[in-house]
């Protein structure tokens, strides 16, 4: 007989203790932060978009303010209309570019910026600019100054102070010889080329100036403007070559930028000296200069000299117009540019073409469409800008309003030049220039009346004076 077996009670699976299970993955704290950041940005974006009407209002308000400032400034400039003065020089000028530098220095004080919101937003006050121009008509060379009417007497006084033998007359605008539109110029049988020049590097680095053309021996002195005058004198019948240098007194930020570059070079030399330690018998300043290369010393001294002089925002623009039968694009591109290229300094600065502005378009240039139409638009804008002596507006809306769909008028870039640099590229030619027959000159010397000359009064007629 088999032994009795105790009955087996059913086992509840939930009563069996389970071993702790370790998850196969873990949540990194950075993932939690990223998720929270995404949620926050999403919520912030929704809140910003919910106020779209506010952002639209602010955008339209800024556009309105920009347009309003441009409108008031244009009215201000129209009220202060400008005149064109022709300067006829005598057959002999002993003074060279140094006298012209003094004229520019005198003009640097004619700053007319807005001092309060009323002058800024209602009167539209803005600092006026001046145009110093040279124009050649069939090889005959003329010098002009474009100035606001209310500055005319001061400009004339500054010129007479340095060049007492010149003759200054108010004349009509020589650009009026041609139609105001490109289509009209084409109808005359003419074509044109135009460009603007800009600095190759930062404008605190100076170009080669007239002081580097001077020599202790007077017969070895060179007039740097002679190359430009020579090229302008070689025009054929019907050709025109115009050049304008527009200037406006610059702010002090330009000089501050130059000091930063000089301080950077000095700090570099100072650190080198400090690493070497003191050397007996040599001053710290002398050691600093020894640690700089000759090129760095030239850069530092040239910048310090340049920023010590008054400065102007500057635009250099020129145009070549000619009958299509004799139109010489190569001459138009290089006549003035090659003359100004002599001011290039290998270690400092130089001029180059402002490529987006000059009237040359290739099919390979972006946006690769309608090259001929884009070329004509560039020529049209260049013609308008030259005739109006255009200085770019600091308001973007003003630039866009003077633009075309095929070419934006936003590429004109003023740069800053010191009075010494300006006098180098524009001054009245001295006796060192040999192309004197081609320059419009004063035929006779004028002198003032002697002191004490009697003036006719009501009591005494001219006949009575002669009968005495």
Torsion 442-445-450-453 (CA) sign:
negative
What is the rounded distance in angstroms from the CA atom of residue 304 to the CA atom of residue 298? 10
Q: Is the pTM of this model over 0.85?
A: no
| 358: nearest Cα among 334, 380, 322, 382 | 382
468 residues of the chain, pLDDT tens digit each: 555 555 555 555 555 555 555 555 555 566 666 777 888 787 877 778 777 788 888 888 888 888 888 888 878 777 778 899 999 988 777 788 899 999 999 998 888 777 778 877 777 788 889 999 999 999 999 999 999 998 999 999 999 999 998 999 999 999 999 999 999 999 999 999 999 999 999 999 999 998 887 765 654 567 888 889 989 999 999 999 999 999 999 887 888 888 988 888 777 766 665 555 555 545 655 555 666 677 778 888 889 999 999 999 999 999 999 999 999 999 998 888 988 888 998 888 999 999 889 998 887 777 777 888 989 999 999 999 999 999 887 777 777 777 777 777 788 899 999 999 999 999 998 776 655 556 665 655 555 555 555 544 444 554 554 454
Element (H, E) at 196: strand 190-199
What is the rounded distance in angstroms from the CA atom of residue 353 to the CA atom of residue 120? 34
Quote the tokens at residue 202. Answer: 């930062």
Residue 72: other Cβ atoms inside 10 A: 18
DSSP letters for 69-135: HHHHHHHHHHHT-EEEEEEEBPS-----HHHHHHHHHHHTT------SHHIIIII------EEEEEE
- Residue ranges per domain, the chain? 55-438
């Amino acid at each position: 007989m088999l032994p009795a077996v105790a009955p087996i009670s059913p086992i509840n699976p939930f009563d069996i203790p389970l071993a702790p299970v370790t998850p196969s993955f873990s949540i990194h704290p950075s993932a939690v932060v990223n998720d929270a950041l995404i949620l926050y940005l999403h919520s912030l974006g929704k809140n910003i978009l919910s106020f779209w009407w506010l952002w639209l209002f602010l955008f339209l308000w800024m556009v309105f303010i920009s347009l309003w400032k441009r409108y008031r400034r244009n009215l201000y400039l129209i009220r202060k209309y400008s005149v064109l003065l022709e300067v006829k020089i005598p057959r002999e000028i002993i003074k060279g570019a140094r006298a012209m530098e003094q004229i520019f220095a005198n003009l640097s004080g004619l700053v007319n910026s807005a001092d309060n919101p009323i002058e800024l937003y209602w009167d539209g006050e803005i600092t006026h600019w001046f145009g110093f121009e040279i124009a050649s008509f069939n090889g005959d060379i003329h010098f002009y100054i474009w100035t606001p009417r209310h500055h005319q007497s001061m400009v004339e006084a500054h010129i007479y102070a340095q060049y007492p033998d010149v003759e200054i007359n108010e004349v009509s605008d020589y650009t009026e010889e041609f139609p105001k539109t490109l289509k009209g110029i084409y109808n005359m049988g003419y074509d044109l080329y135009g460009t603007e020049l800009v600095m190759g590097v930062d404008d605190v680095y100076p170009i080669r100036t007239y002081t580097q053309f001077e020599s202790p021996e007077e017969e070895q002195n060179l007039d740097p403007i002679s190359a430009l005058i020579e090229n302008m004198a070689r025009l054929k019948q019907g050709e025109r070559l115009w050049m304008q240098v527009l200037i406006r007194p610059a702010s002090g930020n330009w000089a501050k930028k130059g000091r930063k570059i000089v301080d950077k070079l000095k700090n570099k030399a100072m650190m080198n000296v400090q690493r070497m330690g003191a050397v007996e018998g040599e001053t710290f300043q002398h050691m600093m200069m020894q640690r700089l290369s000759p090129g760095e010393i030239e850069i530092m001294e040239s910048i310090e000299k340049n920023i010590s002089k008054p400065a102007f925002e500057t635009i250099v623009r020129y145009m070549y117009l000619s009958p299509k039968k004799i139109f010489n694009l190569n001459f138009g591109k290089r006549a003035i540019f090659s003359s100004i290229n002599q001011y290039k300094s290998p270690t400092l600065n130089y001029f180059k073409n402002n490529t987006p502005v000059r009237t040359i378009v290739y099919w390979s240039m972006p946006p690769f469409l309608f090259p001929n139409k884009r070329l004509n638009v560039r020529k049209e804008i260049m013609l308008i800008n030259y005739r109006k002596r255009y200085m770019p507006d600091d308001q973007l809306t003003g630039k866009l309003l003077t633009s075309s769909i095929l070419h934006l008028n936003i590429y004109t870039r003023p740069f800053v030049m010191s009075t010494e640099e300006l006098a180098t590229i524009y001054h009245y030619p001295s006796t060192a220039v040999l192309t004197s027959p081609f320059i419009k000159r004063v035929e006779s010397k004028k002198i003032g009346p002697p002191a004490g000359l009697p003036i006719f009064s009501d009591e005494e007629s001219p006949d009575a004076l002669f009968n005495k």
